[in-house]
Structure 1
């Protein structure tokens, strides 16, 4: 009989769900039965959907509000306290676990990690609870000492997690779909979509699944430089796509690996899964005007580790793009990024926990 794994995620943007889905795909080939639960759907009275909409509205229209919340509740050095919301999710999660008992639980969202850790700490979850951290910067809401093991973006983060929780932690290779490691084509599709000439340098400007951030100004500044052709990735935000006047704009795409293969660089503002996908494709990343909280902290962490640039002004942005024209610098960045993918695969650690 195969093992059974429960994966906990949350539909905040698209990154957490994408990681959960790719984990499920990888483990299915190893005779592991997987099920995926969105923990926001465990909140009664559809309040989880309200939380999702409130967060999206803050990031889109009032980012300073989220910045304050992040400083107060996420960035503190104190251990996270169990909240009433965590308790409600944990109680409903416990009922789900009783209905279909798993052999291990993996959380890919911080609220899920809190709920699973709470159940494990109180003895109501009797199987290993692992946390796969999807942020480059590990804030305190990921951390609950009840969880058995942490899978972190790199070994530096893993050491910090062990210091703060006392639990084992290791770095793991980014969890991205296989097509990003083997992108097809040489960029012809991207050039056709952008209406670009063969000599134009196309720069993807990512706004995430929700299409947030100051990407309109970013595209306008790049277009004005005359040296780069920005293509804005608007996600599912149709209004943003209509607002883009100075550059080609694309909605939600299922062929991102092929588009990335044809780009010169990518400008990102969230430090999430899209950055890992770009790294897998060998596409250089520049963080610019990141969303507050985990976006800014993640951008700083990537730049500190030499994985990307963090441009803090329009002039720095164009300068970073210019510098990427040098083969030596691109090769140096590529080697550092390649080291990420040399780390242990997350599914290998999870299979070990399944026994």
Structure 2
């Protein structure tokens, strides 16, 4: 990443000169490399706080030049401290406020699910409590391993799969041909949709999974994407924030177990609530105030 980081240094310095921020906050690993390099050389005078959004800390996030790292779990914080030797704090996932109290404001998603179930089953009754609606996350690009096969397995085991296809219209059209599967394109009201489904089926431990934690939606991880996504899925499961579903009957077995009130769902949703440890904005304010105080003393 060093060559790419070097190319981005001058544009960032120009932006800092124009905007004159109190803190620079990278939320992407390449950005963390850019700010870390500049701070280490003294070229960037503004303090930097890296928001590490991944559950598994990739080395691309880490540069000792940065002033602070904000992490999603205590384990991630420990790894950062051991690697860079600098300050790190556990704040939990950073999620928009509307996910913490998700509401289907106008009933759009409830009506859509009811119509879908009625059409699929050739009856007029809504989705019954025994048929959990499983939201399948595939990211903005609609990426996943054997997505339609997984959807068929869920349908065969009494679930209602709702496939988020992102911007992949071809995937959405292919999925529409499968009975019982509800494919959706890019969704702007994800909190409202999460308020009406029972479980999130995830393959990357990314932002959708973090948003589900805030929404009180149990997360089942299945067939993770190769590479860093797989590491994130495993780290999230080890933290007790999701269930990594492998083996016979999965992921439908876990979806049924976590969809409805019971010990398994209670444990996971309690762990999810506890994951949100602190307000990251307050950490940024403290960092900025400390830098201002140090600057005043230097004068």
| Pair in the same fold by TM > 0.5 | yes
TM-score, scaled to structure 1: 0.73
How much has 1:182 moved relative to structure 2? Answer: 1.1
Q: 2:265 is matched with which residue?
A: 330
CA contact 1:154–1:172 (8 Å) conserved in 2: yes
Q: 1:17 is matched with which residue?
A: none
How much has 1:93 moved relative to structure 2? Answer: 1.6
Q: 1:223 is matched with which residue?
A: 155
Q: 1:198 is matched with which residue?
A: 127
Q: 2:18 is matched with which residue?
A: 99
Q: Distance in 1 between matches of 2:143 and 2:106?
A: 26
CA contact 2:164–2:185 (8 Å) conserved in 1: yes
Correspondence 1:1-355 to 2 at 5 A: 83-185=2-104, 188-194=107-113, 195-196=116-117, 197-199=126-128, 200-214=131-145, 215-225=147-157, 227-244=158-175, 245-246=177-178, 247-313=181-247, 315-324=249-258, 325=260, 327-341=262-276, 343-355=277-289
How much has 1:328 moved relative to structure 2? Answer: 1.2
Partner of 1:249: helix, strand, or coil?
A: strand
CA contact 1:278–1:284 (8 Å) conserved in 2: yes
RMSD: 1.7
**Structure with more strand by fraction:** 1
Query: Structure 1 unaligned runs (5+)?
Result: 1-81
Q: Distance in 2 between matches of 1:213 and 1:302?
A: 18
Partner of 2:25: helix, strand, or coil?
A: strand
Q: Distance in 2 between matches of 1:126 and 1:179?
A: 34
Larger radius of gyration: 2
Partner of 2:211: helix, strand, or coil?
A: helix
Q: Distance in 2 between matches of 1:276 and 1:96?
A: 30
TM-score, scaled to structure 2: 0.86
**CA-to-aligned-CA distance 1:108-152 (integer Å, 9 cap, x gap):** 000000000000001100121110001111110000000010000
CA contact 1:201–1:263 (8 Å) conserved in 2: yes
Q: Distance in 1 between matches of 2:27 and 2:9?
A: 15
Partner of 2:92: helix, strand, or coil?
A: coil
Count residues with an aligned counterpart: 272
